[in-house]
Structures are given as C-alpha cells and as structure tokens.
Homo-oligomer: A and B are copies of this chain.
C-alpha cells in the first residue's frame, strides 16, 4: 500500500499518480492533497494524527516550499512504515509516532539529474516511493539511490506550560469545521463534562461532544486527537473564540 499526501490541491497530484502507477502495482490511497499550502507544521500535525490508523505502508508526502534548493530528499523507516518526502521536518512527528519508541532510520535520496527543479513530487519523490514500495521497507538500504544518514531536520510541537492554577497552551491547528485544536492534553479537563472552565478568562462549558451545547454556543471538549478543542455547536470555533494558529489558550479552573 502506498499513500499520498500533499499541499498541491488539484491537479498536480495526478502527475505523481501517473508516475507511481508506471512503476508499481501498489494500492494507492489519497490521504489528502489539501493541506494548507507550504505549511510544513500543519501538515506534520495532521500526518501524525492520520497515518497511524493505516496498516504498514509507504507514505509519500510532499509539502515542500524548499523544492529545488539543497534541502535533502529522504526516506524514513519508522516501525513497519516508510515515509518519503523532503527533509524539512514534515515527516518527523509522524515518524516518531509510527516508530512507537523505537529508533527511526533516515536515508538520503540521490535525486540525480531530476527533470525539473520545481516539481520533485513527480520527478524525485514519486519514483523513490515506488522504488521503496517495490523493495519493501525492510530493504531500503539495498536501493541504489538511498544512503543512510544520521541527521534529520527537527520539528517539535510546543508543550503547554503547567502552572499552579492554570495551563497555558496554544493553538496548533484549526480544522475544516472551525474546531480549534490546542496542544493541551485532554486529561487537563479531568473528565469534567457538564462543568465549566475559563478559556482566556471567559467561562465556557466543558462538554462531551459538540451537540451537548446549544446550537451556536461555544464549548470546550476533548477532540479525537485527545487534545483540548475549542468549538461551537453547528458553528465555527475559531471565530467565536477569536483565535488562530499559534495564539495562546490559557485554561483556568473556575
């Protein structure tokens, strides 16, 4: 199995699919091609949340604002999975999640004389992903163009700051429904569904799910990623709470 993720929107993913299908009979599964454009951090978050639900696979990931520069093209072996993409941090959080405490291994792809400088998804990463799939992720080291390397560009999400009466976190991403996903673990809410908590000094009910609040009303819940989420029942949380990615979210008991 071979999954595809990118920030390409349409129609560039089709060129990658054509190249893959010319080089492997693997089952192809689109994860998403609608990651926010050139936003490595948000893509890294979603990949960490999504790819662990897949069976062992080769995951082709192209969110690559540095295409054509000297950033490396890499393959990462993580558990029974392999990830193929640019060395800009996008693969790191999901690789550590898939490795589940084990080490990850990193290989640099020699991109030879890639036909283009502007579309490595098609000319470098897709051929490499097909080759890794055909070789099986156990045999990445046998591939001509893959050389083990030590370093990888890091990317870490910030931890919240736990203070005496409050937890100071921040917004990691806003999803398509307008739900605001923070870096604060859901355990901080301590299962206090039905009670209230202060979010940035405003009192908000803590609910088990969206529809437990009245329509259009704000709520705090534990999202499917197990983090604290700010939302509005049948509405958009990011507007009602007035926050965006990177903004502080301070939770205080009331």
**Residues on A close to B: CB < 8 A?**
1, 3, 8-15, 17-19, 21-22, 28-35, 37-38, 46, 49-55, 65-69, 115-119, 122-123, 175-177, 208-212, 221-224, 226, 229, 234
Q: How far apart sit A115 and B68, CA to CA, in the bound complex (Å)?
A: 42
- With contact pairs A11-B31, A21-B29, A37-B177 given, residues A208 and B50 touching in the complex (Cβ less than 8 Å): no
- With contact pairs A10-B32, A29-B21 given, residues A15 and B211 touching in the complex (Cβ less than 8 Å): no
Pair B17/A210 contact, Cβ less than 8 Å? no
Pair A221/B22 contact, Cβ less than 8 Å? no
Pair B123/A224 contact, Cβ less than 8 Å? yes
Pair B21/A34 contact, Cβ less than 8 Å? no
Q: Given the complex, which residues of B lie within 8 Å of A177, measured CB to CB? A: 37
Closest-CB distance, A206 to chain B (whole angstroms) = 12
Q: Given the complex, which residues of B lie within 8 Å of A3, measured CB to CB? A: 14
Residue of A21, A37, A53, A115 with most chain B CB atoms under a 10 A cut-off: A53
Which of B10, B46, B53 has a CB less than 8 Å from the CB of A34?
B10
Pair A209/B69 contact, Cβ less than 8 Å? yes
Closest-CB distance, A92 to chain B (whole angstroms) = 18
Residue of A9, A11, A32, A210 with most chain B CB atoms under a 10 A cut-off: A11
Closest-CB distance, A41 to chain B (whole angstroms) = 14
Pair B212/A68 contact, Cβ less than 8 Å? yes
